[in-house]
Amino acid sequence: MFEAEAFSPHETLASALIAHAADGDDGSHDLAHILRVFRNAMRIHAAEGGDGRVLAASVLLHDCVAVEKNSPLRAKASALAAEKASAILAKLGWSGADIEAVAHAITAHSFSAGVAPQTLEAKILQDADRLDAIGMIGVARCFYIAGRLGSGLYDPFDPAAADRPLDDKRYAIDHFQTKLFKLAEGFQTETGRRLAAARDKSLRDFLSEFMDEI
């Protein structure tokens, strides 16, 4: 059940937008993900500033178009979401400037898109979304997505990829090296960097324990 109060102080906006927020059946980009990113964003916003309304709308609509990780359209997912979000906000009577601000934040949040965030709201959204990809939530999402895509957990004969190319489409654990360990280096705000450092350590500690067990 959707509880608008969870998105305080933007519960009215959430009530208007939540029906559009999560597209498809991907449990790593569902309403729970939207709420976690919202909480991350509000925590960063409290320290860094920015337009809270633009930021909240950006968070609520950043995954309004679903594209699977293995789809050839993956790099265009954020641009497609920005386009859809713009149409939704236009129907709600938002100004062109605010719609443009939301669209830029959504476009720039994606790792795959490679678009540099130019506004504070875009930087906060990118940081908030990437925080959800590292730490223990990041571990859970990594293995969940691997299951959706039919990947194995690891190469039993060379789990650390000492003598083979990394391949995160075949082995979930390879995704730590191909992407997850790189995320903490790219955070945009001081608050985001501080939060990312703690989660990055958790991520690395998990991999160390995982390798020890296997």
pLDDT at 173 over 90: yes
- In angstroms, the CA 123 to CA 114 distance is 13
pLDDT at 201 over 80: yes
Which two three-digit tokens encode residue 40?
């991350």
Of 32, 39, 85, give the one whose Cα is nearest residue 62.
Answer: 85
pLDDT at 46 over 80: yes
Indicate the helix (H) or strand (E) that contains 191: helix 190-213
Q: What's the whole-number mean pLDDT along residues 35-56?
A: 97
Q: What's the whole-number mean pLDDT along residues 34-58?
A: 96
Single-letter residue type at 61: L
pLDDT at 74 over 80: no
- In angstroms, the CA 17 to CA 19 distance is 6
Q: Percent of the chain scored above 90 by pLDDT?
A: 76
SS3 state of residue 192: helix
pLDDT at 10 over 90: yes
Reported pTM:
0.90
* Mean pLDDT for the chain overall: 91
Q: Long-range contact list for 201-209, CB < 8 A, 24+ apart?
A: 202/134, 202/135, 202/136, 203/134, 203/135, 203/138, 203/139, 203/176, 206/136, 206/139, 207/173, 207/176
